Amino acid sequence: MTRDIVMAARPKARIVLIGTGGTIAGHGASSINTSAYDCSVLRIDDILADLPVAASIADIRTEQLFQFGSENFGNAQLLQLGKRISSLLKRDNVDGIVVTHGTDTIDETAYFLHLTLKSTKPVVVVGAMRPPSALSSDGPLNLYHAIVVAASQVAHSKGTLVVANDEIHTARDVVKTNTFKQDAFRSPYGPLGFIVEGKPIFYRLPARRHTTESEWSIDEIDEVPEVGIIYAHGGMNDAMVRAMLDSGVKAVIYAATGNGNVATSIVDSLVDARLRGIHVVRGSRTGGGVVIRNAAQPDDRYDWLVTDDQVPHKARILMMLALTGENCARKLQNAFLNY
Ligand code: GLU
């Protein structure tokens, strides 16, 4: 008696691969240039042509949407990318999406998609820390893994994912934490899973609302308000804080020291900002932990908000989206507690 499970061959998944530039599309003068190279020079078709093994797992169509380093992503580009992916996901002949992206802001873009796409189909954002021209480039394997995940049934309904260094991260948690090492991506509670020998394996699920459970839809958002980040440090300069507050922002994320501490010298400016209609969100520059409401500062009294555990640059993404809805502090605070 045999215990082998005989499975019917499944047709190959149909994946759209969207190129936007980054190191994964970079090229260096020599193979030892792992960190200094021209970014965003290879077209997505050329990147895919160098990965013939990908054709064995998916039927892949390519689109070159942008060609720049991800530090150049503005709100308009986030909206354009999101709307393009949304329209592709509505097609019956598209089973999943892979976006190649610079790693610098990959966590911001992925989080934006995670909160605004209305689909259970897999969307995977992938980059590389070394260009394909470098020794031991992580680009080809990261891209192969991203296609594997996007083509997989088990990746459905998990929101937008970031794949790097054999790991599958939820866009909600992942942060770039290193300037040059391949092991640059961390989620504070660990990745959702791994890709082992070409197979995605999940060990846990995102607990917070996303995609189909999110209150925001990319199809209904045509612009997002400006939200700034103030990075706290010793010797805070009130004039600089005021310059930010006078710049037209609708909210500021205050990347505070420690557990959301605000220097006495700038409290008045931030209280005044709220009176002028600008929301103040206390976060932390530490990169980990929860900022506790009404602990270091009286948030109820000042009508300020806290980021919960979200890092400042991703709190900015969430706040921009939250501000497209009802401009009420309780609702905005709930966004940080629910997403
Ligand atoms: N300028 C690059 C970017 O697009 C560098 C980082 C990378 O892609 O790894 O973010």
Residue 6's pLDDT band (cuts 50, 70, 90): low
Q: Map the chain to HEC letters.
A: CCCCCCCCCCCCEEEEEEECCCHHHCECCCCCCCCCCECCCCCHHHHHHCCHHHHHCEEEEEEECCCCCHHHCCHHHHHHHHHHHHHHHCCCCCCEEEEECCCCCHHHHHHHHHHHCCCCCCEEEECCCCCCCCCCCCHHHHHHHHHHHHCCHHHCCCCEEEEECCEEEECCCCEECCCCCCCCEECCCCCCEEEECCEEEECCCCCCCCHHHCCCCHHHCCCCCCEEEEECCCCCCHHHHHHHHCCCCCEEEEEEECCCECCHHHHHHHHHHHHCCCEEEEEECCCCCCCCCCCCCCHHHHCCEECCCCCHHHHHHHHHHHCCCCCCHHHHHHHHHHC
Q: Is 103 close to ligand 1, i.e. is its CB under 6 Å away?
A: yes
Residues 295 and 196 in one domain: no
Quote the ligand 1 centre to 230 CA distance (angstroms): 23
Q: Cα separation of 311 and 290, whole Å?
A: 10
Quote the ligand 1 centre to 179 CA distance (angstroms): 10
What is the pLDDT, as a whole number, of residue 10?
Answer: 73
Q: Is 122 close to ligand 1, i.e. is its CB under 6 Å away?
A: no
Pairing type for strands 96-100 and 123-126 reads parallel
Residues 249 and 168 in one domain: no
- Taking only the tens place, the pLDDT of each residue in 52-82 is 999 999 999 999 999 999 999 999 999 999 9
Mean pLDDT of 134-146: 98
Catalytic residue among 23, 34, 100, 170: 23
Average pLDDT score over the chain: 96
Quote the ligand 1 centre to 120 CA distance (angstroms): 28
Q: Cα separation of 39 and 23, whole Å?
A: 5
Domain range for 315 is 225-338
Q: For the chain, how many structural domains are there in total?
A: 2
Question: What is the CATH classification number for the domain harbouring 237?
Answer: 3.40.50.40
Quote the ligand 1 centre to 39 CA distance (angstroms): 7
The answer to whether residue 5 is domain-embedded is: no
Residue 23 among the catalytic residues:
yes
| Residue 273 scores a pLDDT above 70 | yes
Are residues 138 and 6 in contact, defined by beta-carbon separation less than 8 angstroms?
A: no
Catalytic residue among 20, 34, 103, 170: 103
The answer to whether residue 154 is domain-embedded is: yes
Pairing type for strands 160-164 and 199-202 reads unpaired
Q: How many C-beta neighbours within 10 Å does residue 98 have?
A: 31
Residues 83 and 152 in one domain: yes
Annotated binding site for substrate: 70, 103-104
Out of 38, 65, 66, 70, mutate this one to test ligand 1's pocket (max ligand atoms within 8 Å of CB): namely: 70
Residue 120's pLDDT band (cuts 50, 70, 90): very high
Q: Report the share of the chain in percent with pLDDT over 70.
A: 97
Which atom of ligand 1 is nearest to 69's Cα? 4
Which atom of ligand 1 is nearest to 24's Cα? 8
Residues 137 and 248 in one domain: no
| Residue 304 scores a pLDDT above 60 | yes
Residue 124's pLDDT band (cuts 50, 70, 90): very high
Tokens of 283: 């976060």
- Taking only the tens place, the pLDDT of each residue in 274-296 is 999 999 999 999 999 999 999 99
Pairing type for strands 279-284 and 251-256 reads parallel
The answer to whether residue 1 is domain-embedded is: no
- Taking only the tens place, the pLDDT of each residue in 188-229 is 999 999 999 999 999 999 999 999 999 999 999 999 999 999
Q: Cα separation of 256 and 253, whole Å?
A: 9
Are residues 273 and 251 in contact, defined by beta-carbon separation less than 8 angstroms?
A: no
Residues 177 and 110 in one domain: yes
Please choose, from the candidates 41, 114, 118, the residue with its C-alpha nearest in 3D space to the C-alpha of residue 87.
118
Mean pLDDT of 310-324: 98
Residue 246's pLDDT band (cuts 50, 70, 90): very high
Tokens of 266: 């700038």
| Residue 1 scores a pLDDT above 70 | no
Q: Whose CA is nearest to atom 8 of ligand 1?
A: 102
Are residues 99 and 84 in contact, defined by beta-carbon separation less than 8 angstroms?
A: no
Are residues 69 and 2 in contact, defined by beta-carbon separation less than 8 angstroms?
A: no
Final residue before a domain boundary, out of 183, 213, 243:
213
Mean pLDDT of 175-190: 97
Quote the ligand 1 centre to 16 CA distance (angstroms): 22
| Residue 129 scores a pLDDT above 70 | yes
Residue 4's pLDDT band (cuts 50, 70, 90): low
Q: Is 127 close to ligand 1, i.e. is its CB under 6 Å away?
A: yes
Residues 81 and 198 in one domain: yes
The answer to whether residue 220 is domain-embedded is: no
Does the reported pTM lie above 0.85?
A: yes
Residues 229 and 119 in one domain: no
Residues 199 and 231 in one domain: no
